[in-house]
Structure 1
């Protein structure tokens, strides 16, 4: 009669099975071994090679053209090869937390790309060809060494979220004012001294963060962005505010916590009487501005 296997026998079987599987993996071509690590998540073909200590991405990766989401974050990549352009089904590309000094021009071939995370790298510039990725909705280039963006990015008319914080930007790149679908614009901790009147073009903007710059004044045209729910100008050089600011009715309070909606205007050399009026809260400021 067949009896139950002992625990040691089961463990032996499991070990042998594991060895057999590993041996089978070794016999597979490298591209097939990588393909075995892909998963399907919410209908997308996904491959994550994050936190692997990679200095170069496996060459075979670029042969898996069915991939739609690729995560190469938190490695030590110094470059991405032109072969990236072969992944034309990519929807999400995650490259943050590497040592990239540039992105390949071939990134412009990723015409289905919607999300690109390339923050916390060493990028000095962005290829003009990125403007060909016209389906982009989210672009984060924060914590790099950028001084501007190419004019070609004006074509990113569907971009909704743009993060350029912690760079070396002295003027908001002109192409940004053409990104008419933006609802979120993050430019904290750069070298901005002003905000151009063209900011009024971003009529759908709900969140604008420019804290930690050297901005001296806010333009009147900013007050046409009546959908603004969060405006953060903390830690600048602002002495006064435009009289028209009372039009920004969706800024409902003076905010302190970074995630709070409202107006963040702490740590600025505000002059009298604005400084005193603000002690009464945002509505007191609006009432004052409407009567001046």
Structure 2
């Protein structure tokens, strides 16, 4: 763990990454001594409310995180940092985003879970922006000039107060991943759909299988025989809090509306009690594994893979065929997944696929026909990116095959 004491003593001289979490109320000016080397600065989980103008001296700084601080205004000093690309101020108390606060080289902006009611016009002038995370604010509208963000690929605007679908986003040429649930324009009446409601007391939760932004997934069994339900089950208990993608309740409803498909995680039952919201699902067999890894700071919006990972073109083709079937099924239900990625896909050694994680999903049946068509087109771009990412790890000897050529051609259609 890096400490302010170590920084002051000179023991951290020349480092490129610094993380300080010591209940700080003021920016430690000693950080400026790292101006010749510092590229990543994490000041999350402190009590900071401002950053000094001198931060512009950190000329190599590319990434700055300051989540879980009581900032009420995004510091204007950020806009003076010459090489700052990634800015993350999640879960602050930010109400005001000044015009001058956004760096010229901004590529990835995270303002999730704040109190922002208005965004500056300068946001639409940051032409390098690829990723925009705005879920959980109080935005009633977005700047009209966001239509200029021709490099924007991923946007999260769920859980705001938007009264109209932001059409300035829907026509963007590179937008591939969008989440917009939990706004007045996208409000839907929640249904139970086709799965029964059960009491949480009927479920015996066993070991934790995984944990995400919206909840904890555990292996489980029924306390009493449930003769008409699947016996090998897992349960996702939602945290009931805002996530980077939106509200967990919207995630559950979108998953239920998507319904049954052989390549989707299968919902079995739901729990909707005052103190617990949970989704019971069919247990995924142990031999399934994650197809990819989440994007890195460098790849920004594109998946990464385990070093040395490779797939035959036969497996890639089989996986793509299944994902195309899932795509068609979801949009027949008017559900936009919003997170169509390899890292949300599980596969086995035979190329069989299971797709899940509806955290960014949005229902779009309330939109007009043109908007619905644009949503489908946006997610079709995500499907093309998915194919491209898989082809990037295709074994070398298969890259001259007809199957490879056919899939590569499909990406440019």
TM-score if structure 1 supplies the norm length? Answer: 0.63
> Matched residues in 1 for 2:186 and 2:48: separation?
39
Shift of 1:173: 2.5
1:205 to 144, 152, 158: 152
Shift of 1:145: 1.0
1:217 to 144, 164, 189: 164
Structure with the higher fraction of residues in strand conformation: 2
Contact 1:137 1:159 in 2 (8 A): yes
> Matched residues in 1 for 2:121 and 2:376: separation?
31
1:15 aligned residue: none
2:18 to 66, 70, 73: 70
2:61 aligned residue: 113
Contact 1:149 1:175 in 2 (8 A): no
In the alignment, structure 1 residue 270 sits paired with structure 2 residue 366: yes
Unaligned 5+ residue runs, structure 1?
1-47, 51-56, 241-251, 287-292
Shift of 1:120: 1.2
> Matched residues in 2 for 1:92 and 1:226: separation?
30
- The structure number with the bigger radius of gyration is 1
Unaligned 5+ residue runs, structure 2?
188-326, 342-357, 381-413
Shift of 1:86: 2.6
1:49 aligned residue: 2
Shift of 1:65: 4.3
2:179 aligned residue: 232
> Matched residues in 2 for 1:239 and 1:91: separation?
39
> Matched residues in 2 for 1:211 and 1:62: separation?
45
2:94 to 143, 146, 151: 146
> Matched residues in 1 for 2:41 and 2:186: separation?
42
Shift of 1:196: 2.4
Count of residues in Structure 1 that have an aligned counterpart in Structure 2: 212
2:85 to 137, 144, 155: 137
Change (3 A) 1:206 1:259: same
> Matched residues in 2 for 1:62 and 1:103: separation?
22
Shift of 1:81: 2.6
Change (3 A) 1:174 1:58: farther
2:38 aligned residue: 90
By relative contact order (CA 8 Å, sep 6+), the higher-ranking structure is 2
Report Cα offsets for 1:204-263 as digits up to 9, x if no partner.
1110100000101124322321211111110001169xxxxxxxxxxx655566744698
Change (3 A) 1:78 1:59: farther
Q: Secondary structure at the match of 1:238?
A: helix
Q: Secondary structure at the match of 1:158?
A: coil
TM-score if structure 2 supplies the norm length? Answer: 0.46
> Matched residues in 2 for 1:182 and 1:62: separation?
38
Contact 2:131 2:153 in 1 (8 A): yes
Report Cα offsets for 1:33-61 as digits up to 9, x if no partner.
xxxxxxxxxxxxxxx427xxxxxx32853
In the alignment, structure 1 residue 157 sits paired with structure 2 residue 72: no
In the alignment, structure 1 residue 171 sits paired with structure 2 residue 267: no
Q: Secondary structure at the match of 1:58?
A: helix
Contact 1:207 1:230 in 2 (8 A): yes
Contact 2:19 2:42 in 1 (8 A): yes
2:51 aligned residue: 103
Runs of 4+ that moved beyond 4 A: 62-65, 252-258
Change (3 A) 1:239 1:210: closer
In the alignment, structure 1 residue 195 sits paired with structure 2 residue 142: yes
Shift of 1:171: 1.3
> Matched residues in 1 for 2:335 and 2:90: separation?
23
